[in-house]
Amino acid sequence: MQINRRNFLKVAGATTVSAMLPVKGIGNGILAENQQSDKSLKKIYNEVYKKHSQKFNMCGYAAPKLETVRVGFVGVGSRGSAAVERVSRIDGVKIIAICDVQSENAEKAKARIQTSGHPAIIYSGKEDTWMEMCRREDIDLIYVATPWELHAPIGVYSMRQGKHVALEIPAATTVEDCWQLVETSEHTKKHCVILENCCYDFFELLTLNLARNGFFGEIVHAEGGYIHEIGESLFFRGKPGRSWRLNENMRRNGNLYPTHGLGPVAQIMNINRGNRMEYMVSMSSDDFLMGQYAKELSLKEDYFKQFEGASFRGNMNNSIIKTVKGQTILIQHDITTPRPYSRLHVISGTKAIARKYPLPPRLSIAEDHNNWLSDEKFEEIEAKYNPPIIKKMQDIAKEIGGHGGMDFLMDWRLIDCLRNGLPVDMDVYDAASWSVIGPLSEWSVAHRSAPIDIPDFTNGAWKTNQPHDISLKNGGTTGVIA
């Protein structure tokens, strides 16, 4: 789905939320207007904190049960249409409406519904048609899979209409939008869930449960990332209807996609729940490939001449985060150099270490002289520590699919929480704090890798917030339709 952001802001009035960060440019280009600003931004953040007092703590909040979760989808390209198919297989769901600016996308998504009883009314044709859909009184959850820039504005508008929202990653691309999501969720008491599927990959869930049971001892360091070489295809995505992702890589220089690697690590470190990310630094390489791709493609097709000589994001970004407990987190982002796919996922503690990439994943414990455990020992640990959600749902998740099953597991878990009136696994503070790494990395890169404080979106509540429960003690009742 495409929409002009400036036109949207005029229509939706999204600039009226009181917690907008009072500084221009963060998350919007090279930050020229901020080149002379205080490098730590502490003065700016202090102004924000004075304005923001937590209206309601959404961490651990259980919204009223929904016997049937009535869903509306906004943006049904490749990822959104796959979500329509997956969600249609979950019991207790009714797909009320599907919206995309391109009517053919909406129709194709509707055709992917696998079960009966879904009206799936099509909204299309105009850029702001989704707003009409979001105002329907018979929708409980808005599922957003549009271009990144629109995730937060649509989320804010939807919550104001009394809807829970589920936002594809990143949930926001500016610091301002992160604050808007937090303020709106607290004010409306509507969940704002970040759709971070990697938190539901099987090894990530295993390591989370291992951490909960003290397997790693004290966590010292963790690594996560998104290393996914797409090369020239980034430019083919730049053809009509898909130019948004190329545009992101042309106007922003930093870690544009931090949450795949950060999300699982943040849960393991209890970020926003007894711990928080305090500050970070970020460094990007120069661009050695995207400009060259543009030059080569322009020789093949006139369409690509518009990108010749353009500026592009540095190929590799390294961002390092320090937590208030003294731990460090390395987050990497690279979609252009010829490297095997990796999300890193390293958990290093005082007693043990886990590493997922290269595959297969491995575990090592100090008492075993830091050697990787044998396959047999690894399987014993899996059998003992795999959380109930894997034992219950792994086979059906693999069958229905979505990145090996983690996409379906994410959708099923969200619906099960809403139907049982349970706190969601990833709340608005996670959505904001994980996503804000993107724009903050831009600021740091633009300031010669200067450190920058990470906002405390919980307003101090992280000190008493409790880690989320993955045991399914009070959930796991939602079925799957064959």
Decide: 317 and 271 in contact? Cβ < 8 Å.
no
Question: Can you list the alpha helix ranges (DSSP code H) found in 161-232?
Answer: 175-188, 202-212
Q: How many CB atoms lie within 10 A of CB 85?
A: 17
Decide: 261 and 255 in contact? Cβ < 8 Å.
no
For tokens 């543009």, the residue is 294
Decide: 441 and 258 in contact? Cβ < 8 Å.
yes
For residue 330, the SS3 value is strand
Structural tokens at position 55: 């209206």
Domains and CATH numbers, the chain: 65-195 (3.40.50.720), 199-390+425-463 (3.30.360.10)
- Residue 434 burial (CB < 10 Å; 0-12/13-18/19+)? buried
Structural tokens at position 217: 């001892």
In order of 231, 361, 461, the CA distances from 342 in angstroms are 15, 11, 34
Q: Write the DSSP symbol of residue 146.
A: S
Q: Which residues pair with 224 in a beta bridge?
A: 331
Structural tokens at position 86: 């997956």
Cα separation, 271 vs 429, whole angstroms = 9
Structural tokens at position 35: 């080149």
**pLDDT tens sequence for the chain (482 residues):** 443 443 433 333 333 333 323 233 333 333 333 333 444 455 555 555 556 788 899 999 999 999 999 999 999 998 999 999 999 999 999 999 999 999 999 999 999 999 999 999 999 988 789 999 999 999 999 999 999 999 999 999 999 999 999 999 999 999 999 999 999 999 999 999 999 999 999 999 999 999 999 999 999 999 999 999 987 788 876 666 667 888 899 989 999 999 999 999 999 999 999 999 999 999 999 999 999 988 988 888 888 888 888 889 999 999 999 999 999 999 999 999 999 999 999 999 999 999 999 999 999 998 877 789 999 999 999 999 999 999 999 999 999 999 999 999 999 999 999 999 999 999 999 999 999 999 999 999 999 999 999 999 999 999 999 998 877 777 889 999 97
Predicted pLDDT at 482: 73
Backbone angles phi, psi at 30, to 5 degrees: -90, 0
Kind plus residue range of the DSSP H or E element containing 405: none
Peptide linkage before 358 cis (omega within 30 of 0): yes
Predicted pLDDT at 474: 78
- Please, what sign has the CA dihedral across residues 292, 293, 294, 298? positive
* CA angle, 19 then 171 then 121, to 5°: 110
Cα separation, 29 vs 308, whole angstroms = 19
Q: Checking DSSP bridges between strand 69-74 and strand 93-99, what pairing results, if any?
A: parallel
| Amino acid letter, 75 | G
Q: Write the DSSP symbol of residue 452.
A: E
Decide: 169 and 260 in contact? Cβ < 8 Å.
yes
Kind plus residue range of the DSSP H or E element containing 410: helix 406-420
Distance of CA 416 to the CA centre of its chain: 20
Cα separation, 459 vs 452, whole angstroms = 18
Cα separation, 245 vs 238, whole angstroms = 7
pTM (2 decimals)?
0.90
Strands (DSSP E) found in 145-200: 164-167, 192-194
Cα separation, 322 vs 327, whole angstroms = 6
| Amino acid letter, 451 | P
Q: Write the DSSP symbol of residue 94.
A: E
In order of 180, 187, 208, 424, 446, the CA distances from 192 in angstroms are 11, 12, 22, 9, 30
For tokens 């303020």, the residue is 183
For the chain, give me the number of helices (H) and strands (E)?
Answer: 17, 14
Decide: 109 and 145 in contact? Cβ < 8 Å.
no
Predicted pLDDT at 50: 54
> 313-340 burial, b if ≥16 CB within 10 A, otherwise e?
bbbbbbbbbbbeeebebbbbbbbbeeee
